[in-house]
Structure 1
């Protein structure tokens, strides 16, 4: 899998815009800490997909600063929330936001939307515990794939395994990026690609598994 990140170098302090290119696919990726920019992304997404809002699939993932200590220190707060619908991804740097926009709360709480990911219930619980965000309707891709493909062993699969099994794609998830400083105000291109692709492949797997999408 060939991955390239193109920076649009937009002249704004509120956000950065990238294209994350995977083989022949381009995922427009918006990175922001700005509540109004988040609301704008949600509005645009609902307009573009208005014909399927009653059954919208959204890839969801979160990242946080990892602990390297063996002590019983509490986990760091979720630093980024990633959402993906089709070839559009949002990376919300929630840790650096002045507030959480009402539109995001409404979007996550909409029971007509299905938020998909690996371990997505755990991610939803983290969002609730750390930020008071309720994700109303989640579906774990592991159990969904196991049921649709009649392969019980997929219940213990990771996203890389599911991407290979369902999409025929070989994901690259470098450990040094997994364990990087997700609380940084400025994310590296490697972090942007990693965060984007986790949400994007979650969406694509959910779309492929869904017979009615």
Structure 2
């Protein structure tokens, strides 16, 4: 049976995860491997996280010119405007299951059919922290609908009657809910551009930790047995 390939990271609870990084267009096999393993063991909870990046483009405000006119204006027209537009896009989708993690790198304004099909499987529960706006962006920009998603911030606050959980990030919430102690995200990763040509080892490890944290929180809440546990469809 196929399995994930990539670097291995040992989490603070002793579990070791394999993380595979693929482009969206090449994600079909990884998603198939995740799905087959989930069905085999009967665990359909997927830790879900998103990393954002930025793309810039330069545009001239005066239009194109040719011939001698171009040379004349390039030397004398000091008022010509050059505008650099920076746009933020979802750059990486992170999935974590018992098997491991898959980081899927997206191109701006493009989602593959394989990824859309994976998100549309109603039996999979995608769990994440503060994911409402991310899912709205996926819906509005990519026309991608996640059939079954749970915002763990809301769910944890309801179950434990702790409104402060609403502002915790994934690592903080994992510490409180699942006793998973994780260091804060390094600043060099926090401020990095996830559209770089190659993800750094630090970026891959950080994305793995965040996705694993959401998986652990989700499993803890789903298996609590509390009558207060309800799916929060987004």
- When normalised by structure 2's length, the TM-score is 0.72
Which of these two proteins has the greater Rg computed from alpha carbons? Answer: 2
> 2:5, 2:18 within 8 Å by CA — same for their partners in 1?
no
Task: Give yes or no for the alignment of 1:144 onto 2:133.
Answer: no
Query: Residue 49 of structure 2 aligns with which residue?
Result: 61
Shift of 1:148: 2.1
Unaligned runs of 5+ in 1: 1-14, 68-72
Task: Give yes or no for the alignment of 1:18 onto 2:30.
Answer: no
- Where do residues 87-126 of structure 1 align in structure 2 (5 Å cutoff)? 87-95=99-107, 100-126=111-137
> 1:111, 1:137 within 8 Å by CA — same for their partners in 2?
yes
> 2:89, 2:108 within 8 Å by CA — same for their partners in 1?
no
RMSD, matched Cα = 2.6
> 1:59, 1:200 within 8 Å by CA — same for their partners in 2?
yes
Task: Give yes or no for the alignment of 1:32 onto 2:22.
Answer: yes
**Structure 1 residues 131, 16: CA separation in 2 closer, same or farther (over 3 Å shift)?**
farther
- Where do residues 1-213 of structure 1 align in structure 2 (5 Å cutoff)? 17-23=6-12, 24-33=14-23, 35-36=25-26, 38-51=27-40, 56-65=44-53, 75-95=87-107, 100-172=111-183, 173-211=185-223
Unaligned runs of 5+ in 2: 56-84, 226-234
Shift of 1:127: 2.2
- When normalised by structure 1's length, the TM-score is 0.79
Deviation string, structure 1 residues 119-168 (Cα, Å, up to 9, x no partner): 11212122233433222221111111112223232122221221110122
Look up the SS of the partner of 2:182 in the other structure.
coil
Pick which of 130-139 and 113-122 moved more.
Answer: 130-139
**Structure 1 residues 124, 74: CA separation in 2 closer, same or farther (over 3 Å shift)?**
farther
